[in-house]
């Protein structure tokens, strides 16, 4: 059988289009495919919710690939090790509460389980705005990252979602958009994004779990974005808080939607 280039093109265009059309009305839209977005998406999809991740870059994994200063290992605590176990990601004990995982295995393991649970991952797409109606966040406005990078004037497309999750990391990009464009007050002391503080791992790891939550109707933050929104410190290359915050938010969303 000879291969037909047009069939190859048609297969890609039609299957991608049907994945995109199946994502126009979501239960949960997650912006950012870092460790937090990936982990959160898995628990949601495992509970039969229609979930998509929109990731700006070509690769998912965010800041996890680089470990600490490009030493591609990550540290997690005992509680979070249980989450890695659930994903089938190997860990070795370093000392007491410190476990080590390989960042390559960690990212690919999170992604593998998420996609197997039927999370739809769209890379190369950036959230440039949110859909807000009557004080409720109800969708995400998307454009190709290439359009953003080229500075082209191309109008975006929109997906609807019962819940939008900001898992965009340090920049808390979706929350920043809300702050700038929407009249909704965030559930923070100032009503706005408080801004991330300097390193303090111990405090930061508790802070991220505590503050990963709904910040205004229909809109949750998790992972590093939660510390930026609520004014918590950073923690460096320990990823337990990211995973625990992701699972916490997923369970809260499941409870809210069911």
- One residue of 27, 173, 179, 194 binding ligand 48H per CB under 6 A: 173
Taking the least distance from each CB to ligand 48H, the nearer of 37 and 218 is 37
- Interface positions, 222-251, toward ligand 48H (CB under 6 A): 223-225, 234-236, 239, 242
Give 118 or 170: the residue with its C-beta nearer to ligand 48H: 170
Our CB check for ligand 48H shows the closer of 126 and 188 to be 126
57 binds ligand 48H, rule: CB under 6 A: yes
Q: Which residues pair with 93 in a beta bridge?
A: 99
Residue 179 interacts with ligand 48H (CB under 6 A)? no
Stretch that binds ligand 48H, among 42-50, 61-69, 100-108, 131-139 (CB under 6 A): 61-69
Q: Is residue 221 involved in binding ligand 48H (CB under 6 A)? A: no
Contact code string over 3-42 relative to ligand 48H, x by CB under 6 A: ----------------------------xxxxxxx-----
Q: Do residues 258 and 28 make contact, with C-beta atoms less than 8 angstroms apart? A: no
Shortest distance, position 172 Cβ to ligand 48H, whole Å: 9
In contact, 144 and 124? CB cutoff 8 Å: yes
List, in sequence order, every residue forming a beta bridge with 141; answer none if it has no partner.
129, 158
Looking only at the bridges linking them, the beta strands covering 98-102 and 25-31 are: unpaired
| Contacting residue, 30, 41, 46, 56, with ligand 48H by CB under 6 A | 56
d(CA 225, CA 240): 15
Candidate residues 67, 109, 139, 169; the one interacting with ligand 48H per rule CB under 6 A: 169
For the bound state, the minimum distance from the C-beta of residue 37 to ligand 48H, rounded and expressed in Å, comes to: 6
Q: Does 54 bind ligand 48H (CB under 6 A)?
A: yes
Residues 138-157 that bind ligand 48H (CB under 6 A): none
The alpha carbon of 40 is separated from its chain's Cα centroid by a whole number of angstroms, namely 7
Other Cβ atoms less than 10 A from the Cβ of 198: the count is 7
Backbone φ and ψ for 12, nearest 5 degrees, come out as -70, -45
Q: What is the 3-state secondary structure (H, E, C) of 176-242?
A: HHHHHHCCCCCCCCCCCCCCCECCCHHHHHHHHHHCCEEEECCEEECCHHHHHHHCCECCCCECHHH
d(CA 233, CA 225): 11
CB of 24 closer than 8 Å to CB of 4? no
State the Cα–Cα distance between residues 60 and 47, nearest whole angstrom.
22
Count of residues interacting with ligand 48H (CB under 6 A): 31
Find the shortest distance in angstroms from Cβ 171 to ligand 48H: 6
Confirm or reject binding of residue 64 to ligand 48H (CB under 6 A). yes
Give the footprint of ligand 48H on this chain (CB under 6 A). 31-37, 54-57, 62-64, 126-127, 167-171, 173, 199, 223-225, 234-236, 239, 242
């Amino acid at each position: 059988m000879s291969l037909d280039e047009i069939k190859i093109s048609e297969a890609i265009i039609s299957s991608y289009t049907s994945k995109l059309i199946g994502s126009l009305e979501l239960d949960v839209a997650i912006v950012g495919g870092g460790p937090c977005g990936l982990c959160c998406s898995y628990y949601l999809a495992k509970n039969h919710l229609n979930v998509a991740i929109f990731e700006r870059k070509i690769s998912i994994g965010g800041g996890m690939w680089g470990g600490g200063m490009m030493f591609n290992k990550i540290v997690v605590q005992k509680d979070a090790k249980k989450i890695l176990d659930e994903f089938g990601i190997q860990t070795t004990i370093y000392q007491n509460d410190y476990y080590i995982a390989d960042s390559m295995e960690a990212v690919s393991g999170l992604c593998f389980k998420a996609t197997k649970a039927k999370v739809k991952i769209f890379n190369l797409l950036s959230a440039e705005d949110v859909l807000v109606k009557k004080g409720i966040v109800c969708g995400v406005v998307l454009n190709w990252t290439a359009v953003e990078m080229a500075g082209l004037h191309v109008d975006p497309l929109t997906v609807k979602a019962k819940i939008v999750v900001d898992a965009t990391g340090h920049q808390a990009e979706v929350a920043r958009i809300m702050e700038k464009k929407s009249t909704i007050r965030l559930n923070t002391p100032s009503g706005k994004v408080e801004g991330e503080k300097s390193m303090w791992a111990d405090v930061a790891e508790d802070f991220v779990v505590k503050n990963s939550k709904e910040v205004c109707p229909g809109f949750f933050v998790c992972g590093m974005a939660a510390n930026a929104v609520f004014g918590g410190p950073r923690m460096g290359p320990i990823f337990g808080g990211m995973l625990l915050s992701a699972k916490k938010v997923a369970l809260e969303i499941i409870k809210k939607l069911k």
